[in-house]
Amino acid sequence: MTIFPRAAAICALLLPALFICSCQSRSDMTTGTDASKAADHVTVKAEPFGSTPKGEKVTLYALTNRNGVTARIINYGAIVVSLRVPDSKGKLDDIVLGYDTLDDYIANNPYFGAIAGRYANRIALGQFVLDGVTYTLATNNGPNHLHGGVRGFDKVIWQARPVEKADQAGVEFSYLSKDGEEGYPGNLRVIVTYWLTNADELRIEYEARTDKATPVNLTHHSYFNLAGQGTGSILDHEMMINADQFTPVDDGLIPTGELRSVKGTPMDFRRPTAIGARINQEYEQLQYGGGYDHNWVLNRGKKPLTLAARVSEPTTGRIMEVYTTEPGLQFYAGNFLDGSNIGKGGRPYTYRSGFCLEAQHFPDSPNKPSFPSTILKPGECYTQTTVYRFRTK
């Protein structure tokens, strides 16, 4: 893989580093949808979803397209609380893990459906050096920093407003992460927009600006089960990841800095393979995380949006495709779910009953100069787009 500098040429080459061209809508980055064929509007409805212990009111936004696909999203953590999509017989099921009440999300949420940041994934020992200054972050994952810290973007109230276009509608969430929040430098203004399209896509567009250099790495953290949330293991799902390499980790799940070929290893998902087919093999990398919990180095295409992964579920015929502008994809196989999270409808989320596909920059990039940069500077604009597309076979 070519490791590219973070410079204006990145925009011209359409490579997946932090774009420093002007912030603008990413709606031109289509995945093949013909917008002119859309006949009906996607609807947006708002309703109360409880209050935080501080008395902050939380609102749920329900997006529904002409096919009955529905995404329900709250402004606490910008969390997708449910996503109902059809199976091969047209039956709609909720395919993301989550809770029925705000209280559960506040009390015990392993990032179900949330936006993770200011830096998604791990930063080694909760420290990084930027412009000669050492910054210290919370160590909330053993000795390391995870998903923005003790109160990351998954635990804040976002400002929200409905938005719409001819063939899609959504909700724009915005948040100001103040200088020093969770130890990070700079006032960071973040906008995350969820779009539901009539092509059965959940499209997520991100923008961020800062007044001081700071690392930024945002991702979406839904746990998926294409057979339906709470229905059991995801080990029979067939996974394809469009990557020739991954970033191996140490026993603390911090990348070593190596880019390793997937060939001949259980990390090779270039052809569709059941998640459970090799997950228990005696391979050092699988032992560190108790299974898959790694970043894959995506093979880039010529278009900004690249097919990152495709997952199919054999009993329902559901297929999910992930497209992204990001250079990496974290595949997590629900290794730490243990039944203690009682989800929607009173269903316990047991071992490996959900998986995550988190489009991202690489973990611990602030401490790995050879990785694509995650440093955003004043006057620049962070943008990324990730699309989850659903169909059946």
Contact 349, 97 (CB under 8 A): yes
**Residue whose tokens read 């050096």:** 129
Catalytic residue among 145, 147, 220, 221: 221
Name the nearest CA neighbour of 157 among 199, 106, 82.
106
Catalytic residue among 182, 201, 321, 358: 358
Residue 175 burial (10 A CB sphere; 0-12, 13-18, 19+): buried
How many CA atoms lie less than 13 Å away from 146 in the CB half-sphere? 11
Respond yes or no: is residue 221 known to be catalytic: yes
Q: In what order do the strands lie in the sheet with 293-298?
A: 260-261, 243-247, 293-298, 328-332, 356-360
Contact 144, 123 (CB under 8 A): yes
Q: Helix (H) and strand (E) counts for the chain?
A: 3, 27
Name the nearest CA neighbour of 171 among 159, 180, 162, 179.
162
Provide the annotated active-site residues: 221, 358
